[in-house]
Amino acid sequence: MRWSLLIGLIPLMAVETTAQIAFKFAADQALPMTLDLPWIERLVLAPWVYVALASHAAFFGIYMLLIKHAPIGPVFAASHLDIVSVTLFSIYILGDRLTTTQAIGCCAIVAGVLVLAATETEG
C-alpha cells in the first residue's frame, strides 16, 4: 500500500509543481499588470497559462484517484509538498535565497507528511 501511495504522490507533486512554476512564468510574461485590453491579450497569449491550467487539471485527476484508493490524511498532506518542491526549484533554478525560517518550514512540511504516512492505518 505504501509503495503504491508513493508512486501516486510523485506525479501528483510533479504536476502541481509544474503548475505553480508555470503560473510564475505566465505572470512574468503578462507584466506589466495594467488591467486593460493589452494586458488581457498578453495574459491570454502566454503559453505558460495553458501549461498551468493543464497541470492543475492533471493534479485534480490524480488527486481524486489517490483519495479513492489511499488514506486521505497522507494524500492531503502530501498534496502540499509542492510548497517544498517549488521552493527548491526557485533556489536552484531562479536563484532565490532560502531563509532559516523557510528551511524550518520546509522541514516541518516534509516531517508532517512522513509522520502521517507512517502512522496511517489501512482500513
The per-residue pLDDT string of the chain (123 residues; one tens digit each, 9 = 90 and over) reads 566 667 778 888 889 989 989 988 888 887 888 888 988 888 888 899 999 999 999 999 988 888 888 777 778 877 888 889 889 988 988 888 999 999 999 999 889 888 877 776 554
What is d(CA 8, CA 16) in angstroms, rounded to the nearest whole number? 13
pLDDT at 80: 82
Instruction: Give residue 92's identity as a one-letter amino acid code.
Output: Y
Of 42, 8, 3, which is closest to residue 25 (Cα–Cα)?
42
pLDDT at 31: 81
